[in-house]
A and B are shown apart, each in its own frame.
Chain A
Amino acid sequence: MRLAPYEQEMLDGKHGEAKRIAMERLVDFGVAVNAEEMAKLSNVHYGICALMPRSVPEYSKYELGQGPLFEEFIEMGAKVTDDPTCLCTTDPLFLQLDKYAEPGYPWNHRHYKMPPVIYAAVERGYEACKEMGVILTQSCTPQFNTVIPKKGEYVVSVESSYAAYINSILGARANRENTVTLIYAAITGVHPKYGTMLDENRRAQVIFELADEVKENMVDPADWAALGAAMAIKSDNRVPAVLNLPLPIPNEAAKLLTACASPGMNDPMMHLIGLSPESPTLEAAFGGKIPKDVDRFFITLADVKEIYQMLCSAKSDKVDIVHVGCPHLTYYEIRQMARLIDGKKVNGNVYCWAQTDTPSYYLAHHHGEAQVIERAGAKIYHSTCFGLLPLRDWGSDLNIATNSFKGIKLFGGQGQGWMFGAMPDLINAAVTGKFVSTRWQ
């Protein structure tokens, strides 16, 4: 690999042991992916670690895997890059730390209680990451409130949906990054340039044209998630170009449409023609010329409806948990939820959880939507991803209703029944304890 002078100095150990080790492993990875050079990063978005001794019985159940990688850097007192043009931020973890003891949240309810030793581990990890200089955004949607990468910038991200948004909406460049070298990127501020960071891998490979009936009927966040899912599945890991979107689309639509990247598209790039900065035209999406033999798909409402059905695995209509906020709810989505739930009461057998990022959580408290949601008996919380908890311990006689394609595909194989629905149907399910889909009837 070709290294810039400062990168070579890091590799030679002139900037300390932590940077030397990190650089060495980045070069190893760069060689493995045939990278020619490093990309200077504007954002490293990684998870915080939970720090616990290996003797803790729950160690292997809860440790996602980054703890041992962080360990050596924490022990040597390493800091993340101090380059002011590179922000090191974090994805959510297991719980909202200040609500650990309060009942009714994903980490403390009648089907599950997080062991104190795990809470302590998350707290230790939080403090250690802070000490390293990390900005603890604990958000899977930093693009809305904290980090907004600009066109042409390079980012490494643990969060696939964020990476897809960066590429498709903002015109910055990110892979669905492997979660080993992210820590080395945080220490050095650089990462091998490969994959979707390179022009040749960003170009469209398949065309989706939305039928007018699709364009006219996208009204609920779940519709956008289902549309994204339909295209992601048909694309079979080819980069899609999408025609006939109902522009302009809301931020939430952009978020949910691109969030299908994690479970559906390995290269997190969609050319939304007329919206994506690199794709004012279909030709531009293909880098100049559309190949004659390119695959074209026509997407109708039947495709969207099929995803709604595919994502329902529950054997009955009984609902135990309603979960929204994967990816994290925007403030606008919280408002939508508050309007729907205002004056109603969540069924005593149901937990209704609204998951968001820290800024939106406080905004909703400031303006009152959070109080409306909690008065109805639902819970709103931040900095957390409930899917990272060991759902398999919650029992299999449990049905979870959600509007997240991503959530079901990533966390849905642990024994529970799942339902996929639009926001009004989810709120209705929370109130009645029964899920009835009224969308597409």
Chain B
Amino acid sequence: MSEQRILKGVARSKGHTAGEALVSEQPLSWAPFTIPNDTGIISIFGHKLTGQSVKDKIVVYPTVSGSTTGSIGLFFKVKESKVGPRAIICRKVHAIDLGGAIAAEIPAVDSLDADPIHEIRTGDWVEINAPQVGKQAIVTITRKA
């Protein structure tokens, strides 16, 4: 048995993908010195998810924090070293992460009709359908019973 829930938001970067959620209550930085480009392992001072991998995850977090190099870090981890996430979902996608998501060609979604940090749990299966920038994105959350 599994439980499914649908949220609607806005596509900031477009795409269609699905994957397992990794949810961070704290802001996140994709910079190479906070999530190394060769490992994809979170290594942030004072961050609860330090030690966890972002590879192939749908990463859900409030918004960016830290270095502007988060854009190129996100791009590189997805496109070059293949340890990056499949998509990002934020309360607000900051331009630092948006630039990276567009270059990485992965969906970036925000402005959901419920708080994604509370609605999505780590381990949930999340599907994102975000066909057009600035238009509606559908986020389908499936939780195993």
The chain A residues found within 8 Å of chain B, CB to CB, are: 28-29, 31-34, 47, 54, 60-61, 63-66, 68-69, 157-160, 175-181, 194-195, 237, 262-264, 266, 313, 387-388, 390-392, 408-415, 418
By the criterion CB–CB under 8 Å, are A266 and B65 in contact? yes
A29 cross-chain contacts in B, Cβ below 8 A: 98-99, 102
Minimum CB–CB distance for A258 against chain B, Å: 15
Q: Given contacts A160-B67, A181-B99, A262-B66, is CB(A392)–CB(B36) below 8 Å?
A: yes
CA distance A159 to B31 in the complex (A): 13
Pick from B17-25, B42-50, B117-125 the stretch touching chain A.
Answer: B42-50
- A180–B33 contact, CB under 8 A? no
**Nearest B residue to A64, CB-CB:** B32
Known pairs A63-B80, A69-B72 / 5 extra A-B pairs, C-beta < 8 Å? A32-B98, A54-B80, A60-B76, A178-B98, A388-B33
Pairs across A and B, CB under 8 Å, 8 listed? A65-B80, A179-B68, A194-B95, A266-B65, A313-B45, A392-B43, A410-B33, A413-B42
Complex contact B100–A262 (CB within 8 A): no
- B40-64, CB under 8 A of A: which get 1 and which 0? 0011111100100000000000011
Whether B96 contacts A60 by the Cβ 8 Å rule is: no
Chain B residues, Cβ within 8 Å of A65: 32, 37, 69, 71-76, 80
Near A by CB (< 8 A), chain B positions 70-120 give 70-76, 79-81, 94-100, 102-103
- The residues of A that contact B38 with a CB separation of less than 8 Å are 60-61
| Pair A60/B81 contact, Cβ less than 8 Å | yes
Q: How far is the CB of A107 from chain B (nearest CB, A)?
A: 15
Residue from B50, B64, B95 whose CB has the most chain A CB atoms within 10 Å: B95
Interface contact B102-A32, CB-CB below 8 Å? yes
Contact of B79 among A68, A157, A176 (CB under 8 A): A68
B95 touches A195 (CB 8 A): yes
Find chain B residues with CB under 8 A from A158 CB.
Answer: 68-69
The minimal Cβ–Cβ distance linking A229 to chain B, given in whole angstroms, is 12
Dominant secondary structure of chain A at its interface with chain B: mixed
Contact across chains for B96 and A176 when beta carbons are under 8 A apart: yes
The reply to whether B45 and A418 contact each other, CB–CB distance below 8 Å, is yes
- Tell me the minimal C-beta distance from B90 to chain A in angstroms: 11
The 8 Å CB contact of B66, one of A31, A237, A263, A392, is A263
Q: Label chain B's interface by main secondary structure.
A: loop
Known contacts A33-B98, A262-B66; A178/B37 CB under 8 A = no
Residues of chain B lying within 8 A (CB to CB) of residue A179: 68-72, 96, 99-100
Residues of A contacting B65 in the complex (Cβ-Cβ under 8 angstroms) = 263-264, 266
Q: Which residue of B lies closest to A409 (CB)?
A: B45
| CA of A187 to CA of B127, assembled, Å | 37
Query: What's the minimum C-beta distance from A29 to chain B, rounded to whole angstroms?
Result: 6
Q: Which A residues are in CB contact (< 8 Å) with B7?
A: none
Chain A residues contacting B72 (CB-CB under 8 Å) are: 64-66, 69, 179-180
Given known contacts A158-B68, A195-B95, A262-B67, is B103 in contact with A32 (CB within 8 Å)?
A: no
Shortest B99–chain A CB gap in Å is 3
Q: Is the CB of A266 within 8 A of B68?
A: no
Question: Closest residue of chain B to A388, judged by CB?
Answer: B33
Report the minimum CB–CB distance from A286 to chain B (whole Å): 22
Pick the contact of A391: B29, B33, B97 (CB < 8 A): B33
The answer on a CB contact under 8 Å between B37 and A61 is yes
Task: Give the distance to chain A from B28, nearest Cβ to Cβ, in Å.
Answer: 12
| Bound: A66/B69 CA distance, A | 9
Contacts of B50 in A (CB 8 A): 413
Q: Are A32 and B68 in contact (CB under 8 A)?
A: no
State A194–B94 Cα separation when bound (angstroms).
Answer: 12
Q: Are B68 and A159 in contact (CB under 8 A)?
A: yes
Contact B99 A178 (CB under 8 A): yes
Kindly report which residue of chain B lies nearest to residue A268, judged by CB atoms. B68
- From A178, A388, A392, A409, B96 is in contact (CB under 8 Å) with A178
Asked whether A68 and B66 contact (CB < 8 A) given A28-B102, A180-B99, A181-B99, the answer is no
4 cross-chain pairs, A with B, having the tightest CB-CB distances, nearest first:
A65-B72, A178-B99, A65-B76, A412-B45
Closest to A176 in B: B68
Min C-beta distance of A167 to chain B, whole Å? 14
Which chain B residues border A68 with CB–CB below 8 Å?
75-76, 79-80
Closest-by-CB residue of B relative to A194 is B95
Q: A63 and B37: CB pair below 8 A?
A: yes
